Chains A and B, each alone.
Chain A
């Protein structure tokens, strides 16, 4: 520990701290632009110059390491002169845009020029102008003259996003921040650059000119988009959501959020919102009141229960529903005598149901990822499925963590990988088994039963070796692993690998509230999400599900929905297809208009309140289910608040969910048989993954929002006799999709990558099933 004195205040700081770290500890504010606690030190703005005793010239606080007994003065004459001088330099070329600049009111340059700058300008020359750039639908670079060249955006790309999309071109006064030759900024974390930019050079395009920061009310919320549960600040004006920003939580999302979380609010205010309950009578849709709609639903459900039994009713919820919604859904339908309640629409293999030791979770805290010596991620489109977890792994891999990936495509994760194994979906279990066998062989212990015939390749050995070294290692199962037909075997094999190597095993989590679904008893005691459609029922309740996009095998879902006598479609958004198969449409509130709880993949309970007024007649789904429970005359639906529901499920004051355990009881290793035929690899593109993102225009215009193509290895295309760029017909079951073929050598042989969750592929079936491909 070193001793430092800043402005007379003494402090003890750890070795290696800078003066800026010490000042933060002591509570002294040193003005700065280019310094950011999460980025590398650049020291190029020179705003943090302070006087250090015995130093001839002022030193930048962010880059000066503390020496024992150092004395620093941040308000001495020299320091103040330096601050005023640098401030003056920053302002000489800065356009006088404050009245029209979005950043006004939350601009660090404004604030610091008031606090640390000179009174007036002495500059009478011409100001330098920088031309605007178009870098995509999310970040506005219309006024790059405002840029103060702090290079935070450049460093963000290099370090956090993993790809340097912005750089400084030219030199001296003509230096400007630009992308490479007219490219767009495509990273899934790029929106964070808007927060980082201290001036109005990088601003939010969707938010442009819509509101001033002082008109907005800041309210806390939690992200519904992925399993991290990033903390959000939702800014509201006149009861409408205008903007979403990250809320700092070092343990969950640090200070970042992904683009989807940042821009999906556009859907909330769109005309795509459902605002009135509707009932289909005589083949026609009629808008009605809530009591009419719920009476209709209650009567319908009771009729089906009386005539066909409770088992003829099924309910499927979106795993991004709140804990309260999932719990009440389970309570209502189990009260009706139906154990057919589930929240895992994409899953196809439910072999671990009733055999789990506890609630599946990440296996460790998000903040512990950086301490891992090695990690293996199995079956995941890591960057796109979990941008914030990928970011944590990226930082860890840059230090010393050996991150390996065993998945179905070799997409660039922008992480320096230790090993990368890409196999067809049907080979996932075999490849993981090879790593398990390699681990056993390296440890010189008996190979687990069932793996004797598995062939071990060099890469599997490399992965196994990395998991055997060091103290903290982890094995993560991603979305592909959870959605695959081999999900249970992958889980068992991962547990075996964990046992052999001492690594923790965990799940990355498919959606915002999968842990909440498990903890909230929304698990089926009867038919699971697959069985409830494969064996058709008479009545279905869909909570936040658009089957053509959200269900693992849309064909199976639609066969069942079409023949059902009662389908209740509860969603926040309009859906054309639902008008055909549904009988009642209930408008429910998205996360901004309801109080609720998301349990993130660490098991962390994060509750939030509604931040905006409900649109039209939309109601929070938990309230709808409570009323439905009461209308159905079921016991125990007298809740006063959503907190009462949460406390009933989790107990009062629970910070983390209890009984987090990834173990399995009574499942043995049994490798699946080989599969013949062309396999489909269905990724869920990041901006098609949920209803809100699908209806946000800005996200749909990004590079990740393009219409899916049929991607296959060049060899596969030649084998199929297809040319890249030609239209191809993908046939699966009784549906087909017509897409443009594209050569992509990241796809393994014998597979074609056809995305799910898009209108062009909604008629297809199983996500990782067999397909036939021919010229269209």
Chain B
């Protein structure tokens, strides 16, 4: 299960916004593009989370994300739409403070050196 990414173990050194950015990018990229909510909605969610991660977030963004995902979940042809919506919903629900910190301070709650400490590679992209 660990190899396919179905279960990911994260500790306190992971920035949840960054994790959500990667997850929503995954769903945006994997969306087949057939139905409107998933095709447009995953792109929209990814772009908003991307903005938040890169310090361009706005206070309305969290409510916006919740509204958008509410329009995707249950409205799509297949379950990818639901699967894309639920991480956004639960991340914001359970780690709201990290998102709000990002929006206010334009940087991760978890300091960058702590994020990548002990992870060998990726040091070049810090």
Listed in ascending order, the chain A residues whose CB lies under 8 Å from chain B are: 42-47, 49, 56-58, 81-82, 85-86, 88-90, 92-93, 122-123, 125-126, 128, 148-149, 151, 168, 170-175
- Contact of A86 with B43 in the complex, beta carbons under 8 Å: no
Once bound together, how far apart are the Cα atoms of A343 and B13, in whole Å?
89
Among B42, B44, B67: residue with most chain A CB under 10 A: B44
Nearest chain B CB to A42 CB, angstrom units: 8
Residues of A within 8 A of B39 (CB): 89, 149, 172-173, 175
Residue in contact with B41 in the complex, picked from A45, A89, A170, CB distance below 8 Å:
A89
Give 7 closest A-B pairs by Cβ, nearest first: A85-B71, A175-B33, A57-B74, A89-B40, A172-B31, A125-B47, A173-B43
- Contact of B40 with A85 in the complex, beta carbons under 8 Å: no
Nearest chain A CB to B13 CB, angstrom units: 29
Once bound together, how far apart are the Cα atoms of A124 and B43, in whole Å?
13
- Contact of A46 with B32 in the complex, beta carbons under 8 Å: no
Nearest chain-A residue to B43 (Cβ)? A173
- Contact of A168 with B33 in the complex, beta carbons under 8 Å: yes
- Contact of A44 with B36 in the complex, beta carbons under 8 Å: yes
**Can you report 24 residue pairs joining A to B where beta carbons are below 8 Å apart?**
A43-B77, A44-B77, A45-B35, A45-B36, A47-B36, A88-B71, A89-B36, A89-B37, A89-B39, A89-B41, A92-B40, A122-B64, A128-B43, A149-B34, A149-B39, A170-B33, A171-B31, A172-B31, A172-B39, A172-B42, A172-B43, A173-B31, A175-B32, A175-B33
- Contact of A90 with B51 in the complex, beta carbons under 8 Å: no
- Contact of A58 with B31 in the complex, beta carbons under 8 Å: no
CB contact under 8 A between A46 and B43, given known A86-B36, A88-B71 = no
B22, CB-defined interface residue at 8 Å: no
- Contact of B33 with A172 in the complex, beta carbons under 8 Å: yes
Residues of A within 8 A of B102 (CB): none
Once bound together, how far apart are the Cα atoms of A45 and B77, in whole Å?
10
Nearest chain-B residue to A45 (Cβ)? B36
Interface size in chain B (residues, C-beta < 8 A) = 27
Residue in contact with B29 in the complex, picked from A122, A125, A151, A172, CB distance below 8 Å:
A172
Q: Which chain B residues in 44-78 approach chain A with CB under 8 Å?
A: 44, 47-48, 51, 64, 67, 70-71, 74-77
Mostly, the A contact residues are loop
Residues of B within 8 A of A85 (CB): 37, 70-71, 75
Starting from the known contacts A57-B74, A85-B70, A172-B33, 9 additional A-B residue pairs (CB-CB under 8 Å) come to: A43-B35, A47-B36, A82-B71, A86-B36, A88-B71, A89-B71, A93-B43, A149-B34, A168-B33
Listed in ascending order, the chain B residues whose CB lies under 8 Å from chain A are: 28-37, 39-44, 47-48, 51, 64, 67, 70-71, 74-77
- Contact of A56 with B74 in the complex, beta carbons under 8 Å: yes
Residues of B within 8 A of A57 (CB): 74-75
Residues of B within 8 A of A81 (CB): 71
Residues of B within 8 A of A58 (CB): 74-75
Once bound together, how far apart are the Cα atoms of A745 and B111, in whole Å?
72
Nearest chain-B residue to A168 (Cβ)? B33
- Contact of B64 with A90 in the complex, beta carbons under 8 Å: no
Once bound together, how far apart are the Cα atoms of A297 and B5, in whole Å?
90
Nearest chain A CB to B41 CB, angstrom units: 6
Residue in contact with A46 in the complex, picked from B30, B35, B42, CB distance below 8 Å:
B35
Residues of B within 8 A of A46 (CB): 35-37, 75-77
Residues of A within 8 A of B36 (CB): 44-47, 86, 89-90, 148-149
Residues of B within 8 A of A49 (CB): 75
Among A42, A149, A173: residue with most chain B CB under 10 A: A173
Once bound together, how far apart are the Cα atoms of A235 and B43, in whole Å?
41
Once bound together, how far apart are the Cα atoms of A46 and B44, in whole Å?
17
Once bound together, how far apart are the Cα atoms of A237 and B121, in whole Å?
69
Residues of A within 8 A of B71 (CB): 81-82, 85-86, 88-89
Residues of A within 8 A of B67 (CB): 122
- Contact of B41 with A44 in the complex, beta carbons under 8 Å: no
Nearest chain-A residue to B63 (Cβ)? A122
Residue in contact with B33 in the complex, picked from A86, A89, A171, CB distance below 8 Å:
A171
Nearest chain-B residue to A56 (Cβ)? B74
- Contact of A44 with B75 in the complex, beta carbons under 8 Å: no
Nearest chain A CB to B75 CB, angstrom units: 6
